[in-house]
């Protein structure tokens, strides 16, 4: 079993367009560290937006729409996602850096009311 964090998601992967991310490094990491594991290795991502909780290396090597491509195509996909900047990222990243401990008074009013 492997816990893949935000690097390899089920039929997807983490974003590389902020926090100094690198599509080259993500591709290299997944292909050299995860896709070299046995095909039946269970993988558990940090989260999934469709409610899936587990996949296998083999399934992702066959069906992942981004990471089944060659690196140049992958980089082009990742560099042209044009997704909005995550609303809570400026709070989440610092909190993650201190294991989730954060100063609640530093949150914007709309974040507290939602």
Same domain? 33 vs 64: yes
Same domain? 22 vs 55: yes
Domain count, the chain: 2
The CATH number of residue 48's host domain is 3.60.15.10
Same domain? 35 vs 52: yes
Residue 99: its pLDDT value, please?
80
Same domain? 22 vs 49: yes
pLDDT average, residue stretch 6-26: 92
Residue 102: its pLDDT value, please?
61
Domain that holds residue 95: 85-114
**Core vs surface per residue 43-69: b (16+ CB within 10 A) or e:** bebeeeeeeeeebbbebbbeebebbee
pLDDT greater than 80 at residue 58: yes
Same domain? 89 vs 45: no
- The pLDDT mean for the chain works out to 88
Same domain? 30 vs 53: yes
pLDDT digits (tens, 9 = 90+) for 26-48: 999 999 999 999 999 999 999 88
Bigger pLDDT: 112 vs 21? 21
Percent pLDDT > 70 in the chain is 88
pTM of the complete model: 0.77
Same domain? 76 vs 99: no
Same domain? 36 vs 48: yes
pLDDT greater than 90 at residue 64: yes
pLDDT average, residue stretch 46-62: 94
């Amino acid at each position: 079993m492997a816990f893949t964090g935000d690097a390899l998601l089920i039929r997807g992967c983490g974003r590389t367009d902020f926090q100094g991310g690198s599509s080259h490094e993500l591709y290299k990491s997944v292909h050299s560290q995860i896709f070299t594991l046995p095909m039946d290795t269970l993988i558990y991502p940090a989260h999934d937006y469709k409610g899936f909780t587990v996949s296998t290396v083999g399934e992702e090597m066959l069906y992942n729409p981004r990471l089944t491509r060659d690196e140049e195509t992958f980089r082009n996909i990742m560099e042209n996602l044009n997704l909005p900047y995550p609303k809570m990222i400026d709070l989440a990243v610092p909190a993650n850096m201190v294991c989730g401990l954060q100063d609640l008074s530093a949150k914007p009013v709309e974040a507290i009311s939602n």
